[in-house]
Amino acid sequence: MTSFSAFWRLTGAGWALVRADALIPREAEPLLPPAAKLAGRVLRLFAGSAAKRGRPGERLARVLEKQGPAAIKLGQFLSTRADIFGSAFAEDLSHLKDRLPAFPLAVARAEIARNLGKPLDEIFAEIGEPVAAASLAQAHPATLVDGRKVAVKVLRPDVERQVARDTAVLRLTARLAETLAPASRRLRPTEFVEVVIRALELEMDLRFEAAGCAELGEAMAKDAYMSAPSVCWEGVGKRVLTLTWAEGAPLSDPAALTLPGLDRKALAENVTRGFLAQALDHGLFHADLHEGNLFVAAPASVTAVDYGIVGRLGPGERRYLAEILYGFLNRDYARIAQVHFDAGYVPAHQDKDAFAQALRAVGEPVFGRNARDVSMGRLLAQLFEITALFDMALRPELVLLQKTMVTVEGVARRIDPTHDLWAAADPVVRRWIGRELSPAAKVRDFAEEALRALRAIARLAEASPPATTEVHIERSHVWPLLWFLVGAATAGAAFVTGLLLSR
């Protein structure tokens, strides 16, 4: 798609928002500063008949639905934050999660057969009408020839071309933001957009999703917080994915929260803890945990589907995340500030004590208060002000993590309006800290570093014969030397252990 075509499409999307009064809606006018009020009134001079139909969320949803997959995903994200935008607005956008118009069953059957390269009756005994349709694909209930009930996910026809058009518009938007709004460069719009585009590209190959589901399913099985369906590999292709049927009701259905015997408090905690356990303990997490991808059953069972976006964290990011959360749990703002500086999240020239003071200003008003009494919109605005004040740039490697954390909290608070994110996170974070930063863990890390060094010495000794020098060490002497070093490392580890445990 050319830059001109992308610009024309972006302009068309903006015009559609203006015509529907969905950009600066009239209903929001009492909450806006004078400049924004004036801008809204000017834009409404160009509004069309669509601006008179429905609430702001309904008008925005109609526009986003016509703009393509990337815009729909934005709507899905906004719909998870009823605590910020209001329950009516979130509900008006909620159909974008899994209730979009579906394409015909005959088209889906033909695509499944073509993609799997064999007749349908060799794999499936039955394939039913679609039960859910989202921005990129739709899901069909089916039965395998061996009798197992499954869900078959099929990409929408021509969705790859639509995503390619969206990516061109996203890149253009990022470039315009950096050019026209220099202050936005701190948020690295271009790098942020590239992370989003890469996630969309991976979602276009359902074989990757199958692998992500299998990998995350193994990780989830180690805790009882969340579970994943099993992959039916005989029904997997680039545009087709077959998983065992997820029991329970989709959380996108408002009736799901009225199931008999449902423990909403425990359910919300399982959503939060399930995500944190994935990220901290395993370094990978489901990065699209909106209500349309969660199935629930009494009393507090959660099954996640749609593994098209899987986030990953390296050992360093996992440790920084755990220590930041642990610092908030203990209200240790000086430690939180130190971790931010150690990680490079805050530039070194900034004042560490002032940053700790700013964190205290955000954290203290939240602790001990009922979640209903905390304005998430105001809290997020304050956090954004702090990032600007201390010149904090967006971290592309953390984009999926941050986006998922915001989504997860929104989902959990919709399940249980009194949900306390910090109380829910406490056992998972303390477990990680106890395991990874305990004296025994430090000794383990020391021993692993020593062994890595010894292996490197051994490879060097095996790979290159000693040159003729004044000091000549026979190869037969290397292994006794290595064993001596191993013994020394072991003795040192034992000494460190005793020293730490005696404190």
Q: What is the DSSP string of 223-281?
A: SSS-B-PPB-GGG--SSEEEEEPPPSEETTSGGGGG-TT--HHHHHHHHHHHHHHIIII
**Structure confidence at residue 114 (pLDDT):** 95
Residue 18: pLDDT band by 50, 70, 90 thresholds? very high
Residue 423 scores a pLDDT above 60: yes
Neighbour count for residue 158 (Cβ, 10 Å): 8
What Rg value do the Cα atoms of the chain yield, rounded?
Answer: 27
Give the model confidence (pLDDT) of 382-403 as tens digits.
777 888 899 888 787 788 888 8
Most confident among 1-15, 237-251, 441-455 (mean pLDDT): 237-251
**Structure confidence at residue 497 (pLDDT):** 44
**Structure confidence at residue 187 (pLDDT):** 74
**Structure confidence at residue 484 (pLDDT):** 47
Q: What is the DSSP string of 317-348?
A: HHHHHHHHHHHHHTT-HHHHHHHHHHHTSS-T
**Structure confidence at residue 235 (pLDDT):** 97
Residue 340 scores a pLDDT above 60: yes
Q: Which helix (H) or strand (E) holds 484?
A: helix 478-501
Cα separation, 203 vs 190, in Å, equals 20
Sign of CA dihedral 429, 426, 359, 192: positive
**Structure confidence at residue 143 (pLDDT):** 97
Residue 189 scores a pLDDT above 90: no
User: Which tops the pLDDT comparison, 420 or 84?
Assistant: 420
Active site residue 420: no
Of 281, 288, 306, 420, catalytic = 288
Residue 370 scores a pLDDT above 50: yes
Residue 466: pLDDT band by 50, 70, 90 thresholds? low
Contact between 307 and 136 (Cβ < 8 Å): no
How far CA 395 is from CA of 190, 310, 400, in Å, comes to 12, 17, 10
Q: What is the mean pLDDT of residues 35-62?
A: 89
Crossing angle for the helix pair 159-180 and 69-79, nearest 10 degrees?
70
Residue 182: pLDDT band by 50, 70, 90 thresholds? confident
Q: What is the mean pLDDT of residues 189-194?
A: 87
**Structure confidence at residue 446 (pLDDT):** 59
Q: What is the mean pLDDT of residues 11-20?
A: 92
Q: What is the 3-state secondary structure (H, E, C) of 433-456?
A: HHHHCCHHHHHHHHHHHHHHHHHH
Q: Is 365 helix (H, G, I), strand (E, B) or coil?
A: coil
Residue ranges per structural domain of the chain: 3-98, 160-200, 312-436, 439-501
**Structure confidence at residue 388 (pLDDT):** 84
User: Which tops the pLDDT comparison, 272 or 488?
Assistant: 272
Give the model confidence (pLDDT) of 112-149 as tens digits.
999 999 999 999 999 999 999 999 999 999 999 999 99
**Structure confidence at residue 285 (pLDDT):** 95
Residue with tokens 């701190």: 186
Q: What is the mean pLDDT of residues 268-293?
A: 94
| CA torsion angle 87 93 99 103 (round to 10) | 180
The mean-pLDDT minimum among 35-39, 369-373, 409-413 falls in: 369-373
Residue 487 scores a pLDDT above 60: no
Do β-strands 310-312 and 301-304 pair in parallel, antiparallel, or remain unpaired?
unpaired
Q: Where are the beta strands (DSSP E) in 106-174?
A: 124-127, 132-133, 137-144, 149-155
Give the model confidence (pLDDT) of 344-362 as tens digits.
999 999 999 999 999 998 8
Contact between 268 and 209 (Cβ < 8 Å): no
Here the tokens at position 329 are: 């749990």
User: Which tops the pLDDT comparison, 397 or 41?
Assistant: 41
Contact between 447 and 485 (Cβ < 8 Å): no
Residue 471 scores a pLDDT above 60: no
